[in-house]
Amino acid sequence: MSAPFLYRAWVLASMVLAPFAARSTMRKLQAQGVTAERSREKLGHATHSRPSSGPLVWLHAASVGESLSVLALITRMGQILPTAHFLITSGTATSAKLVAQRLPPRTVHQFAPLDAPRPVKRFLNHWQPDAAIFVESELWPQMLRRTHATGARMALVNARMSEKTVAFWAEWPQGARYIFDVFALILTQNDAMAQNMIRMNAPAERVARGVNLKSMSGPLPVDASALQEVRTTLADRPIWVASSTHEGEESAVLSAHRQLLKRFPDLCLILAPRHPERGDIVEQLIASDGLSYRRRSRGEAPGGQVYLADTMGELGLWYEMAEIVFLGGSLLPIGGHNPFEVAQAGAAVLTGNHVAAFAETYALLETEGAARIIADGDDLAARVAVLLTDPDELAAMTSAAQRFTATQDDQLDAIATRLITALELDRA
C-alpha cells in the first residue's frame, strides 16, 4: 500500500518541527525532575538494554490513565508467556513516575520517541519489538507505519476516539486505511466505538468490542508503614474519602462535609485533589470554610476535620483506609475517573452523574450494587450519612464491589489470550 499524501506531508513537517519539539519536550521533562539522560529517550536514545532472549512486546500509551490501564494486562500476558519481556512507553513525567512504582516483572519504561524519522528509527533499531500494542487514541503515523515495516505484529486496544477524530478520518479514507491497516486486531471500549472505527475506514474484519482496560487496572500500591501510621493516628475516627476532585468540585465536597460534621463531629474527610499542584488553592477553600485541616505535602500527620492529601501516588493508601469513597471528575462534565481502583480496595463508590468515560463500568457497578450516583453536595452528604449509620447498607456495597472485582479477572484473561493469538506470540 503506497503512502498517501497526508502521510508524506506529515513526515516532511515532522522533519522540520522535530528539533523545536525536541527542545521543548526535553526542557519540560527536565523541569519536572526527569534527568537529562532520560529526557533524551524522546530522541530515541535508550537508557536500557534490549533483553537478549525471549520475545519483546512493546506497549505505548499516552499519559497516566492509559499507562496504568495496561499494567494488569502486561502482568497477565507475562504469566501466560513466561519468557516474554515488556517495554511500556508514555509521554509524561507523571506517567513515568507512577508506572515505575508498579512495573510488572520483566518490564521497563521509556519515554516514547517523537514521531519524526530519526527518533523513531533510532528507537526501533535498538528495541526491535516482536509485537506492539497501542492504547486508546495513540495513532502517531510514523511510529505506526515504521513499526509495521519491521514485521512486528501490532494491535490497538481500548480504542477510543473523539467525535472530532472520527469525523476527520472518515473524510480521509485513503489515509485512514493506510494507518489502520497496520493492526492485526483492534479492540474497542464498547460497541459504539467499534462502529466508529469501521466508519473511520478501519478494516471491519479486524475490529471487535473489547472492554475498558481502565476498569481492570491492578491494585493501587499501598505503603505498609504509611498505612500503619495513618491508622494509628486516626484511631477510631470515622473516615470518608473524596478523591480525584477537580476545580469547582471541592466546594460541593466541603459543603457536604460541613453538613456531616453536625451529625458526626469526629468525622474526618481525606481530600485528594486530582492534581496535587492545586494544593494551595484547595487549602484556601478549606480555610475559608472555617474547617480545621492538616496537609500531607507538608509532612503533617493525618488529623483535623479535613486531611488534604495533596501528594502523588498515594490513592491506594486512602482507599485502603476508608470504606466510603467519592470519586471526582463527575459533578462537572469531565467524564469521571476509574472506579475499579476503589472497588478493588473493597470500598463503596459514590460519584456524580458525569461519567461518560466510564459509562459501561459504572452501569455494571450500579447494577451490582457497588456504586451510587449522586446529584450534588447535598445529595452526597445524605448518601454518606446513610453509609455511616447503616452498617448493613455499607456492607452490601463493599461486598458488591468485591464481587465486581472478581468478575473482571475472567475478562482480562480473555483479552490477554486474544492478543497473544493475534500477535502470534504463542508461536514465539
Residue carrying C-alpha cell 466505538: 193
Q: What separation in angstroms does the CA of 38 have from each of 45, 61, 110, 134?
A: 8, 17, 8, 22
Report CA 46 to chain centroid distance, whole Å.
24
Instruction: List own/partner pairs for 9-18 with CB under 8 A and 24 or more apart.
Output: 10/141, 10/142, 11/117, 11/141, 11/142, 14/114, 14/115, 14/116, 14/117, 14/142, 15/116, 15/117, 17/116, 18/114, 18/116, 18/118, 18/119
Catalytic residue among 37, 41, 66, 314: 66
CA separation for the pair 322, 340 (Å, rounded)? 15
User: Which DSSP string corresponds to 25-78?
Assistant: HHHHHHHTT--HHHHGGGGT--SSPPPSSS-EEEEE--SHHHHHHTHHHHHHHH
Helices (H), 242-278: 250-263
- Whether residue 360 contacts residue 336, with contact meaning beta carbons closer than 8 Å, is answered with no
Report long-range pairs for 388-391 (Cβ below 8 Å, ≥24 apart): 388/238, 388/240, 388/260, 388/264, 388/267, 388/324
Catalytic-residue membership of 171: no
Cell of 417: 489470550
What's the DSSP call for residue 339? S
Which residue numbers are catalytic? 66
